[in-house]
Structure 1
Amino acid sequence: MRTMLGIVAAGLGAAFGAAAQAQAPADPGAGGRTAGLDRPGWTVFTDGAGTRVDVPAGIFTEQVGPARRGAGVELQSADGRARLMVYVEPNDEAFTPERFVRTNLKVPAGALDYRRITDRFFAVSGVNEGEIFYSRCNFPARASGRMHCIYVAYPQAEEKAWDDIVTRISLSLRGSRN
């Protein structure tokens, strides 16, 4: 995944300063893999802010609570080994994706394994304490408005199994353009 894609929560927390804590697995999945990883069970998540994203509901079965950034939701796997946040964050400062990452990144840029920044979105990824984090935010069409974001964290040892899953989540992310 890190070789193909791209940060905001342990990644967000480590990278952008949110209070993200790694959670100990409650009940490891079969063979020490994240519960549900072999049966993602895709569904489309939507919210009142116009966010739309494909979510593997067979993996992220538990709602933890509100997202740690912006307005949204945090989900986790039944065994606590993986997390997903879907959230909307205001862009009142009218940051470009490049400026947002430059201003908010809390880890050295060298800690990132992947970094892709365009005029419409950023996607970053890295490893923190044995966990891969991946974050993407799509930016509004106007200078200010809402950023539609996702954050995924999962065990580094499962990187290959997560590649296609994270790719689908990332590429499906859509939001209203305001």
Structure 2
Amino acid sequence: MHFHNLSHTQYVVNAVTEIGFKCKISDLEMVIVQTAAWFHDTGYCYAYLGHEDNSIGIAATFLKQVDAAASFTNDILACIEATKMPQAPQTLLQQIMCDADMFHLADDDYPAYAERLRSEWDLVLNQRYTDEQWGKTNLNMLIQHKYFTDFGKTELQEHKLANIDMLLR
């Protein structure tokens, strides 16, 4: 996997930590979103499309094995569920998870992330794009995407707009 790999997972864990800190969530809430971030893409081991359901199953199995509290488990699973496209988070923790999963859209190194995703889709989904098609696909994604947290709507959105401007050049 060129994009959805350990580096992406670590990136999302760091992103939920940063966003969670900015949103002033509790220590327990931080553990919930960090745990969800670690598990959110594990389902790619079994399926590409619909991987979130597999990720939820993997997380649920692990959390049951360690006797995690039901409410703790349910919050983690709901955060993973919220990352399904189109994203529709219902709680602040789910919003943090969704914003973290799309944090790379606001990254200065966005073109490199996009190229890794392009390579992954070529390899895994047999989807090939010309440079023009890929540019339009990325531009549409960035324009249509919405961040959910206050931090996402301000800080991340500003950086994402810079990436949109870069794609328009």
TM-score (norm 2): 0.27
Larger RCO (CA under 8 A, 6+ residues apart): 1
Larger-gyration structure (1/2): 2
Structure with the largest fraction of strand: 1
